[in-house]
Amino acid sequence: MGKIEFDYKQGFVAYPGGRSGPAGDKAPYVDLGTGRPDRTRYFSKEEADLEWQHLWMKTWAFAGLLQDIPNVGDYLRYNLGKESFVVVRTKTGVKAYYNVCPHRGNRLVHTDFGTTANACFTCDFHGWKYNLDGSNKEIRDELIFRPEVICDRPGLTQVSCDVWNSMIFVNPDPKPRLTLLEHLDVMPQHLEHYDFSRLRVLRDLEFCWDANWKTALDAFIEFYHADDVHPEAIPVSEMLECQYDLYKNGLSRMIIPIGYVTSRHDDRDTVNESLKMFVSIYGGNPDDYKHLKGYEYKQAMTDTKRKWAKKHGYDFFDKLSDDQVVDDWNYSPFPNMTINVFADSVLLQIFRPHPTDPRKSYYNAITLCLPVSDDTTQVLDLNSFGPESFGPAGWKGEERPARFTPKELSEFGYLLAQDVRRIPEVQKGLESECFKGARLSESEIRIRHYLAEIDRLIGRTP
């Protein structure tokens, strides 16, 4: 391996000369210092309470997918800490309400997904009914109430809800400081050519970690851990020279270049078996690319994936740069989400606080794929990707799989299991008296970035 230079103010640039267009450009450096984050924010109840008040109740966060509520009257439940919300498709768009019946407080819906009967919600305690616009439709046996008790015809309490590229976001604040598009800053522009509406859910898992939501999130917004945790990726992807970008409102991104022999390897000419396998998965023939050296092999990946897109009818690939077609563009919209964007599949990860215990949190990993048009092509399940499995063949995405909770490590899928088993260990260690806060590299700067945004919202910094 040759000597690699690093200037922290420049960082590593994934696409020299702006070859991938403005969306791929390195963002200007933001100096977030060298301090060690206070470890207590990863387990203290006081910190969790501050976050609840200043962050969770006032910020946009991912609630679900438009694909999961295709018809008027379909709903999904979105639980966040001690609160629960119901998101419903109405004739005039998607709306969200507290999942609370104003009569005595019963939860209105009790399942993750469902369809209302007769376009209204019916509470299963005393039968009050609510229209999809949240207004009160019926109070059972109204005559037994003194009029003053119900004269305002109590309806559901609405919260802010908006949709970007098939992703539904909810902000409990009815008058948000920023619109959803403002909150997401450059991400919608960067991803304007991706059509997420064509993705279908391949896997959806939910898990309660023995770790604070931030401990879990931190493990997925840096790739510094990849050499140790994901050694299988070494032959096919960058580990060191990834690009880390910070944007407004806590948004950040990392670009993990894929599909060639990187500068970490002494022999960059030989095309390894993993690279050939990638080409084969997408229906290409490695023999067609024998003229390419290992460090040039991204051309083979690009060519193969573009042919794959043509074959299966995904014209939007024509608008993506070669780098977007092959690489992993990993965005983290503040505060609690990662979106790993590959052209043909997307991995969403959501990290939500536990209702009462800051040492626990809820995690969702949703794998989305573009369905294939024949019966043999495989789709890539990003979480289970590993030596023995990639994803199903001939997958049409017609049936939405149920959300499930893994009982064994192996049920997370090969790749994700590598991360999962480490996170509770990190939580235990950072609670030790000997630990004085993380020493973060510049490849872990996204951690500093979202913590700084939380500090701003809490009012610790201007």
Q: Which residues contact ligand FES by CB under 6 A? A: 101, 103-104, 106, 123, 125-128
What minimum distance in Å lies between the beta carbon of 122 and ligand FES?
A: 9
Cis-peptide into 335, omega within 30 deg: yes
Nearer to Fe ion, 245 or 419 (CB): 419
For residue 126, the partner it binds in ligand FES, Fe ion, none, with Cβ less than 5 to 8 A by kind, is ligand FES
Name the site residues for Fe ion (rule: CB under 5 A): 419
Residue 371, token pair as written in the block: 């369905």
For residue 417, the surrounding DSSP H or E stretch is helix 414-420
Q: Please identify the residue of the shown chain whose CB is closest to the bound Fe ion.
A: 419
Give which of Fe ion, ligand FES, none residue 125 binds (C-beta under 5 to 8 Å, depending on kind). ligand FES
The residue behind tokens 């049920």 is 411
The nearest distance, CB 103 to ligand FES, in angstroms, is: 3
Give yes or no for a contact between 344 and 391, defined as CB atoms under 8 angstroms apart.
no
In the complex, least distance from residue 228 CB atom to ligand FES, rounded to whole angstroms: 52
188 binds, among ligand FES, Fe ion, none (CB under 5 to 8 A by kind): none
Least distance between ligand FES and beta carbon 145 (Å): 12
Closest to ligand FES by CB, 126 vs 436, is 126
**What does DSSP say about strands 113-115 and 93-98: parallel, antiparallel, or unpaired?**
unpaired
Nearer of residues 103 and 298 to ligand FES, judged by Cβ? 103
Smallest separation, CB 458 to ligand FES (Å) = 35
CA distance 87 to 97: 7
Q: Supply the minimum distance, in Å, between the C-beta of residue 54 and ligand FES.
A: 31
Residue tagged 């800051």 (tokens): 358
Q: Which is nearer to ligand FES, 154 or 437 (CB)?
A: 154
Query: SS3 breakdown of the chain: % helix, strand, coil, rounded to 5?
Result: 30, 20, 50
**Least separation, in Å, of the C-beta of 34 and Fe ion?**
25
- Least spacing, CB of residue 91 vs ligand FES, in Å: 24
Q: In this complex, which beta carbon is closest to ligand FES, that of residue 125 or of residue 404?
A: 125
Tokens coding 156: 């559901």
Helix ranges, 73-192 (H): 147-150, 180-184, 187-190
Element (H, E) at 51: helix 45-51
- Identity of the residue, 88 or 255, whose beta carbon is nearer to Fe ion in the bound complex: 255
For residues 305 and 76, give the distance between their C-alpha atoms in angstroms, rounded to a whole number: 34
Q: Select from 65, 164, 155 the least CA-distant residue to 113.
A: 65
Least distance from ligand FES to the Cβ atom of residue 101, Å: 3
Cα Rg for the chain, rounded, in angstroms?
23
Number of H helices, E strands in the chain: 12, 17
Give the nearer residue to Fe ion in terms of CB position, either 238 or 419: 419
Q: Looking at this protein, which amino acid is placed at residue 436? A: K
**Pick 303 or 419: Cβ nearer Fe ion:** 419
The site partner of 419 among Fe ion, ligand FES, none (C-beta below 5 to 8 Å per kind) is Fe ion
Q: Closest approach of Cβ 172 to ligand FES, in Å?
A: 21
Q: Which residues of 383-419 are buried (b: 16+ CB within 10 A; e: fewer)?
A: bbbbeeebbbeebebeeeeebeebeeeeebbbbbbbb
Q: Which is nearer to ligand FES, 101 or 348 (CB)?
A: 101
Alpha-carbon distances, residue 373 vs 3, 310, 450, 452 (angstroms): 46, 11, 40, 45
Q: Which does 421 bind (CB under 5 to 8 A by kind): Fe ion, ligand FES, none?
A: none
Are 340 and 382 contacting, i.e. CB atoms less than 8 angstroms apart?
yes
* Of 108 and 430, CB closest to ligand FES: 108
- Residue 306 binding partner per list Fe ion, ligand FES, none, with a CB distance cut-off of 5 to 8 Å that depends on partner kind: none
Give CA separation, 183 vs 172, 332, 455, in Å. 14, 12, 17
